[in-house]
Homo-oligomer: A and B are copies of this chain.
Amino acid sequence: MSAFKKLVDHSQKCSHFNHLAAICGWDQASMMPSGGNQARSEAMAQLSVHIHGMMTQPQLSDWINDAENESLNSEQQSTLREIKRNWQQANLLPEKLVQAKSLAGSKCEHAWRTQRGENDWVGFEKNWREVVELSREEAQIRADFAGLTPYDAMLDIYEPGTSSASLDTLFSDVKTWLPGLIDQVIDKQSTEQFTAPSGKYSTDKQKALGLEVMNLLQFDFNHGRLDESVHPFCGGVPSDVRITTRYDENEFVQSLMGIVHETGHARYEQGLPKHLSGLPSGEARSMGIHESQSLFFEMQIGRSDEFIGHLAELAGQQFSGNEFEKSNFQKIYTRVEKDFIRVDADELTYPAHVILRYEIERDLINGKIKHTDVPELWNLKMQQYLGLSTEGNFKNGCMQDIHWTDGAFGYFPSYTLGAMYAAQFMASMKNDLDVSSVIQSKDLTPIFNWLETNIWSKGSLLTTDELVKQATGETLNAQHFQDHLKNRYL
């Protein structure tokens, strides 16, 4: 058996265990009663150890070396590249560091769940110090290996191929026009009247509406489900994608558009190349590309004039009231406000939240600032970008996100990269298709065909730059994002 074939078999074996982890993880978040948590966590930890053990088997190194000298076609070369990348990621860090970081992260995150509500920065800082230290240690090891700066080495986990040099360029451009645009739009919207949701919107009806919307978006229910969880997510495996939402009976806005968002993630997974199933080349390209698909659904399709009309119509079949008029829906879903919380932010202010975090975590991981500098920097940047003070307001400031509590530094930029890629894909799609008419027709097949051909079916065969260039004729160009925002909001 060729070394490459051995690697393929090994990779497929690992993917079976990852499958079990995905389903049991979904269950833990959406089905499991809380009394089951301890035994489940132990079982999942054991599974992690087993998967890590498989990924660090000593013979893999030889197989990879041997496979690199075998004659492989271009698809196989991509598979080998991604197998090697995963193998490097799994073998790079000393197990002691992985365990120490996991422990410190769990401890910090667990305490944070209470500390955030209590605005307890002092308590949080004590745990977080260790998470930051261990993350810096991790980043340094990654940096030494890859010949990158520490932060760039962390970025590479989530967004292979992206550097802080390119992000600096992208984001400093955004900063030249975004704050002004936000003010302009808020001014424009200041006299706008709309009916806010008020009243009881039953979970059953919201769910029925969500399922209708998923049908419109051609979610494949033979290969997936919609359920509920406290924090909505897209999980499961490509042949069985599990998305979740959270219903609030006082409003329908979040859950409805949340379902559109997760359906975007789900269709990417459902559309991944089946002949590469179980191989890393058959997986989603990166966090940023994943988010580009959810945001393509949520922002590019979901907030389009035509789709808002369909949403209002479908909602009107479940509910009645002025709030379900199309023009009211439009106002609700394009409302811009300066606020503290990233996860509740609108499309326009969202990048400001991301840029702020990016600048802080970049300097923190590169050792340019101390973790105790973060609250002050947060306040400063929040004032600059959104005109809001977070002085003393830790819970709605630097303590609001889960990401940093367990050391996921380098993740935040993916959100805005996703929004930018989504805008670029739409601009390119519009050269091929009359997108408005397609959405208007309620049969969105041509749009999904475009995405399937250009993005989903490519898995990780191409690098991100290659993928985007093949799909749109150019690598990331943030002008499309700016044009999109001005076009929609001005």
Contacts and interface: CB of A to CB of B under 8 A. Distances in A.
A202 interface: no
Contacts of A32: 240
A224 interface: yes
Given A34-B222, A225-B31, A240 B40 contact: yes
Given A19-B40, A24-B23, A240 B33 contact: yes
Interface in A10-57: 13, 16-17, 19-20, 23-24, 27, 31-36, 38-40, 42-44, 46-47, 50
A16 B31 contact: no
Nearest to A38: B239
Contacts of A16: 42-43, 46-47
A17 B44 CA distance: 9
The secondary structure that dominates the A interface is helix
A34 to B, nearest CB: 6
B222 A35 contact: yes
A487 to B, nearest CB: 39
A178 to B, nearest CB: 42
B35 A240 contact: yes
Contacts of A31: 31, 225
A145 interface: no
Contacts of A19: 39-40, 43
A33 B221 contact: yes
A246 to B, nearest CB: 19
A46 B19 CA distance: 11
Interface string A438-453: 0000000000000000
9 contacts: A16-B42, A20-B43, A23-B24, A31-B225, A33-B223, A35-B240, A39-B240, A40-B239, A40-B240
Instruction: Return the 6 tightest CB-CB contacts between A and B, nearest first.
Output: A36-B240, A35-B222, A16-B46, A19-B43, A16-B43, A35-B223
